[in-house]
Structure 1
Amino acid sequence: MLPTKKSYSIALVLTLWSGPIGLAYSSIELSIILTIFSLAFLPKIIVLVCCWISSMLLSFRCIDKYNNEIDKELYMIEFDANS
């Protein structure tokens, strides 16, 4: 059974609502890195805002990469079935 594609809108809502922690829907590794980075610079508001915005942008990139891999797997399955 193939995994399903991830939704861009869910990723946007999660990262908009919970910032770097919401990035875990897209990429757990990046979520941990950005959360630690934002906690390290907690008193600096500009760093928190940059982490928040970058988590939203990174979520789209990670989901695009994930969905492209799913498309490649589906294409290979269809190609093998037609051979």
Structure 2
Amino acid sequence: MTPSERCKRAGLSGLKELVQITEQSEQTLINWASKKSILFDVLVKGAAATKIESEKRIEPKSKIRTLVEQLLEEVEAKTGERL
């Protein structure tokens, strides 16, 4: 399954939306999808949850960034990898 398909399956419009939410480059996310699959899946799930929350009410970009940072910390704790 391609990174974009994985994003769509989670409820995002595609990889471009994940780029917007995470502020990571498309190439970085593609690399993570193939080399750090757990990290990519956590980011996709977090971004999808963030999208749902933002549709309920508009969140400041700083809060979304904080949520993504928290998810990254969780991945680091689970995998032992520093991102």
> TM-score with structure 1 length normalisation?
0.37
When you count helix as a share of all residues, which structure comes out higher? 1
> TM-score with structure 2 length normalisation?
0.37
Higher relative contact order (CA 8 A, sep 6+): 1
